[in-house]
A = this chain, B = another copy of it.
Amino acid sequence: MAMNMAATHAVNRKLVDPIFEANAACKAAIQNFGADKVTNATIGTVLDDEGKLSVLPTVEKVFRSMSMVDFMSYAPISGRADFIESVKKQIPCEGYMGAVATSGGTGAIHHAVANYAERGEKVLTSDWFWGTYNIICKETGKTLETFKMFDDDYKNFNLENFSAKVEEILAAQNSLLIIINTPAHNPTGYSLSDGEWDKVLEILKNSANGGKKINLLVDVAYIDFSGDKKTAWSFMKKFNNLPENLFVMISVSMSKSYTLYGQRCGALVAISSSKEIIDEFNDTNKYSSRAVWSNINHGAQVLFTKINGDEKLSAELEQDQKVLREMVNARADIFVKEAENCGLQIVPYKGGFFIAVPAENPAAVCKKLHDDLIFAVPLKLGVRFAACSTPLQKISGVATKIKAAVDAVK
């Protein structure tokens, strides 16, 4: 008889990882045909055109200048006070703000889902979504529900379906956590326009008017790949002066913006017109931090504070980020233009690591692409192509081959 020692809620939990599988197939192809012949569009980090991990020079310089005490001593549970202040300063909002250091963007999303959705209830996000949202919901005893992200011709954010789903869930729940990943959404590269943001907030304000509790988590993990600091972060001003029962949290990550993926540092930030709600946020999340990871990588916090506390270093960092952003954009541009020319339907790409191709049988499309030694990740609604990690010289021709693969498996 098979035996389980894990608790009933934890039994039969197994990660299915399509990225890992795609990567394994790709590695086998590299072994057989050589790296030059193979296009690995599965990886979620920025690689340069030689295939090496890109590390921002300013980050490397500051990292290498730091003392052992910076790296090795404990940070406070919620994060260093100067790190927290520095993180909040980046958010162009007024009113009360709170923040807690987290294990990258994932940790921030974990805390929001753990503490701002009722057990057994629904959390809402778009139907194109980063699979980890679902894992976090299951781990914390919630269910992930989705709205249709785009209208039928993949032109605009589907406000109608968004609104309908919010109302539908709120008919059965007293509170609702909604996760919106923008700008430079993973896996599509979409960004909500200013006008779309206004409508989203109008919908949520209307819902909040009924007295129910609406928690909005904005996942901005890829924000610095969508534009420069001044323009990319400015949409957050819309979060000023919202009603108390429309509570906005922002999950920020150092993984992409600082190429600090493996160091595990980010933050969950909150904005409210109520000091009480911010106090609750700080207390609740500090408690969770104490329970799940104790404290967050001290070195990464010192690095963030050093750079953001120094005008010259901040300017250097922004310049570094621009170089990386333009490298990825140059690759995406080729893909997007070629897709247009060959008639490949893609989700509108506005920036970020990934481009998404809607498909009815994504796994079959990806498998077909193996014939061309192209390796991408099959998602539920389509194929994810990593512009972040595919060298420029390998981009031309890929969209045409994906078009052929999509047509072949129809």
Contacts and interface: CB of A to CB of B under 8 A. Distances in A.
Interface of A: 2-11, 13-15, 17, 44-45, 52-53, 55, 60, 63, 68-69, 71-75, 77, 103-104, 106-107, 110, 114-119, 132, 135-136, 138-140, 175, 213, 215, 244-245, 247, 259-264, 272, 274, 276-277, 280-281, 283-284, 286-288, 290-299
Contacts of A63: 68, 71
Contacts of A13: 283-284, 287-288
A280 B3 CA distance: 9
B14 A287 contact: yes
Contacts of A117: 7
A295 B73 contact: no
Contacts of A277: 3-5
A184 to B, nearest CB: 19
Contact of A262 (B8, B74, B138): B74
B5 A291 contact: no
B291 A138 contact: yes
Contacts of A116: 5-7, 10
A139 to B, nearest CB: 3
Contact of A10 (B14, B272, B284): B284
B77 A295 contact: no
A53 B104 CA distance: 26
Question: Top 3 closest A-B pairs, CB basis?
Answer: A262-B298, A139-B291, A103-B293
Given A103-B103, A114-B10, A295-B262, A2 B71 contact: no
12 contacts: A3-B244, A5-B277, A6-B281, A9-B118, A9-B119, A52-B69, A73-B261, A106-B292, A110-B293, A135-B287, A262-B295, A264-B294
A7 B55 contact: no
Given A3-B245, A5-B247, A290-B135, A71 B115 contact: no
Could you say how many copies of this chain the assembly holds?
Answer: 2
A72 to B, nearest CB: 5
Contact of A72 (B74, B247, B262, B290): B262
A45 B53 CA distance: 35
A11 B213 CA distance: 14
A138 B73 CA distance: 27
A287 B52 CA distance: 29
A405 B68 CA distance: 38
B60 A68 contact: yes
A77 B298 contact: no
Given A15-B283, A73-B53, A297-B297, A7 B119 contact: yes
Contacts of A106: 290-294
A107 B293 contact: yes
A45 B60 contact: no
Given A15-B283, A291-B136, A292-B292, A264 B297 contact: yes
Contacts of A260: 72
Contacts of A71: 63, 262-263
